[in-house]
Amino acid sequence: MRKFKTVISLFILFSFIEVKAQNFELGKVSMDELEQKVHPKDSSAAAAILFKKGKTSFEYHRERGFTVISEVSMRIKIYKKEGYDWANFTVPYYVGYENYNDDVVAFSNAVTYNVVNGTIVKTKLNSEGTFKKNVNEYWNEATITLPNIKEGSVIEFKYILKTENIVKFPVFYFQERIPINAAEYTTNIPYFFTYKPIQIGYVDLKVDSKVTDGSLHYDNEHGQTVNLNFNQLKSKYSAENIPALKEESFVDNIQNYQSSLHHELEKTNFPDEKEKNYSKDWDGVAKTIYADKEFGKELGESSYFLDDLKLILKGIDSKEEKLAVIFKFIQERMHWNNENGYYTDKGVKQAYMDKTGNVAEINFILISMLKLAGFDASPVLVSTKEHGMPVFPNRTGFNYVIAGVNIDGNQLLFDATHKYTAQNILPLNVLNWKGRLIKKEGTSQEIELEPKQSSNKFYTLMVKLDKAGGIEGKYRSQLTQYEAYNFRYRYAEMNTDSYLEKVENDFNGIKIQGFTIDNKKTNFADPVVQTFTFMTTNQCDIIGDKIYMNPMLFFTESKNPFVQEKREMPIYFGYPKSERYNISYEIPEGYTVESLPKPIKIATEGKELSFSIKAVFDQNKIQILVTKEINMTMVSADFYESIKDFYQKAIDKQNEKIVLKRI
């Protein structure tokens, strides 16, 4: 079965086909659009984008330099009340620059159209429907709320986003969670800029690119108007009848597959200046990142922790113990402020004193401390799942940084921002394809983030049945690696009573006593072990002189998670995992076994998924052995049908009953 590389090739698509221009104009809403009751291609749609038109170009100012201007116009049809949210439209914009002015967003042409007594009535947006909100120190949001929204309304508006940060264009989305009838995006790029277009998703874009004449006008230092004429690359991307982006089970981040177009600055070549490379290759990316003072300079700081490092390493000789002690010290001392990024904010020294910082500050402190202790430690750039995948060399594809430590040729990964991580156990949203380890001298190395070792769940149950269908038993579970991390992340801070109430409900109303748990908030490299005794009266059915029960009791799966007819997105399992169940039943006196599930072992063609069950009866004991294995993290949607079929067969087998009959 093909793995992740197949997935990448499926959703990074480029198509260069000439297409006729379409005319999208605001202010020309038709009666047909207003009277339409349902979307012609998706009757379930609560709203639809009738057209979305975007354009990105440049302007120049003598003092500020170049500014990127992105203009977007949209017309949206509201079919149902559930679509009213589309009358509230938000544009985020960046305000955290040091060397640039803040981005600027301005809305215009915002109108709601309705039919009243057979006539089209327009309601314009007033100042009360425009809002700006500060999200954090880096981002603001501009929002409009269109007035007089009803079922059947058509709304339209335009916004312009201006930014002095020319490293990348704002992302243009060709797909949303509602259908889009037509979308068009045009870029006008002067010849002295080279941008890399990156298309993500499954929508086949039609592209028309050609060289045209361009011009810019600006005032010089004498107040005279200067006209600059040049060649530019004009590219028009378009698509029609774009389906809504639908949620599917087992997806890492749905936005990774939302059809969109990104532009990353690759190089500049201004007249009378040397060509400047931004992201031609990964080494170029590494050099530009390391050269930034909030990166390379901060990694070089160490004086602020020298005394603490000497203290925590006193009397420790082994490398393994030094590594563990330093990591635990930083993990316990530092507190993450929930800010991502690979640049520092207030700086490592201040963060260390405050005991709080962003991702870069915390893991830079860890890297610096490890280097001073003699380890080969380096920063590893990562893109979290919610940020997307850095498929091509670029500086903005990453939003996170962890620590990589090379010991005898083995690369170990650490993240001290989260309290339950361990060596090679990272936060789940960091397990996103590949990272990029970078060195001060400008070299870089691709780092595999997806775990190779299986994370396990082991369950052992000793169960005794009575003639009335009651059950009492002993339960023991052991969770390792990412299964242990996932448990700690979700439940370590939950109080015991609340946790046990959840388990009792999840296990179909059992009653728990004598609960113990080991390594819940300590020894993160060790398994989480739980034990308890339980009682239940609702796991068996008695019909006449027979008792029926599921061989896996409350672990039985009854619903296939793959229900849709077709699938486009890759199927994501997170990490390799194995589940093993050893369940021993003592049947009541006066009963024997009439039937047991027949043993079976099923697997996909390449054994990426496997399931087996074996049932043995001896004297008054039944032994059930079940194994489930997932041996990959992601697989192409090409194999959806076989995976869907595999799950259904495994579920059907789990639901075959143990039948006991009275002697």
Q: pLDDT tens digits, residue range 138-182?
A: 789 999 999 999 999 999 999 999 999 998 899 999 999 999 999
202 & 109 share domain: yes
Asked whether the predicted pLDDT for residue 5 surpasses 50, the reply is no
375 & 257 share domain: no
* Tens of pLDDT, residues 87-128: 999 999 999 887 899 999 999 999 999 999 999 999 999 988
- Which token pair is 544? 């006449």
Distance separating alpha carbons of residues 378 and 364, to the nearest angstrom = 9
Tell me what pLDDT residue 287 has.
81
271 & 292 share domain: no
Asked whether the predicted pLDDT for residue 79 surpasses 90, the reply is yes
- Which token pair is 122? 């327009």
Distance separating alpha carbons of residues 529 and 479, to the nearest angstrom = 7
Q: How far is CA 285 from CA 22, 266, 368, 438, 442, in A?
A: 38, 10, 22, 9, 8
Asked whether the predicted pLDDT for residue 58 surpasses 50, the reply is yes
Pairing of strands 455-465, 434-438: unpaired
Asked whether the predicted pLDDT for residue 136 surpasses 90, the reply is no
Q: Once rounded to an integer, what is the mean pLDDT over residues 239-251?
A: 93
Tell me what pLDDT residue 288 has.
82
> Between residues 511 and 271, which one has the greater pLDDT?
511
The CATH code of the domain that includes 515 is 2.60.120.1130
252 & 294 share domain: no
Distance separating alpha carbons of residues 485 and 481, to the nearest angstrom = 6
Tell me what pLDDT residue 279 has.
61
Summary count for the chain: helices (H), strands (E): 11, 36
Domain end call among 277, 310, 331:
277
423 pLDDT band, cuts 50/70/90, is very high
282 pLDDT band, cuts 50/70/90, is confident
Asked whether the predicted pLDDT for residue 16 surpasses 70, the reply is no
Mean per-residue pLDDT of the chain: 92
212 pLDDT band, cuts 50/70/90, is very high
The CATH code of the domain that includes 75 is 2.60.40.3140
310 & 376 share domain: yes
391 pLDDT band, cuts 50/70/90, is low
Question: In terms of residues, how long is the chain?
Answer: 663
- Which token pair is 434? 């590949």
Domain end call among 392, 415, 448:
448
Tell me what pLDDT residue 554 has.
97
Closest CA to 538 of 517, 518, 522, 553: 553
Pairing of strands 471-479, 455-465: antiparallel
Backbone angles phi, psi at 352, to 5 degrees: -65, -40
403 & 535 share domain: no
207 & 340 share domain: no
Closest CA to 348 of 410, 305, 398: 305
Tell me what pLDDT residue 313 has.
97
564 & 607 share domain: yes
Full strand arrangement of the beta sheet holding 139-145: 88-94, 139-145, 130-134
383 & 422 share domain: yes
Asked whether the predicted pLDDT for residue 202 surpasses 80, the reply is yes
Distance separating alpha carbons of residues 507 and 528, to the nearest angstrom = 19
Tell me what pLDDT residue 14 has.
35
Distance separating alpha carbons of residues 388 and 265, to the nearest angstrom = 18
Domain count, the chain: 3
The CATH code of the domain that includes 312 is 3.10.620.30
Domain end call among 254, 277, 300:
277
Q: Once rounded to an integer, what is the mean pLDDT over residues 261-290?
A: 83
Tell me what pLDDT residue 1 has.
36
Q: How far is CA 248 from CA 561, 570, 572, 629, 640, in A?
A: 9, 10, 10, 22, 12
271 & 294 share domain: no
Distance separating alpha carbons of residues 638 and 636, to the nearest angstrom = 5
Asked whether the predicted pLDDT for residue 563 surpasses 50, the reply is yes
Neighbours of 401 (CB within 10 A): 30
**Whole domain around residue 259: which residue ranges?**
4-277
Asked whether the predicted pLDDT for residue 247 surpasses 70, the reply is yes
301 & 273 share domain: no
13 pLDDT band, cuts 50/70/90, is very low
Backbone angles phi, psi at 369, to 5 degrees: -65, -40
- AA identity, residue 92: P
272 pLDDT band, cuts 50/70/90, is confident
- Among left, alpha and beta (phi > 0; psi -120 to 50; other), residue 37 is alpha
Asked whether the predicted pLDDT for residue 10 surpasses 90, the reply is no
472 & 411 share domain: no
Tell me what pLDDT residue 23 has.
55
* Tens of pLDDT, residues 392-418: 666 778 999 999 999 999 999 999 999
Tell me what pLDDT residue 15 has.
34
Q: For a pLDDT cut of 70, what percent of the chain falls above it?
A: 96
Q: Once rounded to an integer, what is the mean pLDDT over residues 182-210?
A: 95
Q: For a pLDDT cut of 90, what percent of the chain falls above it?
A: 81
Asked whether the predicted pLDDT for residue 338 surpasses 90, the reply is yes
User: Could you tell me the pTM of the whole model?
Assistant: 0.84
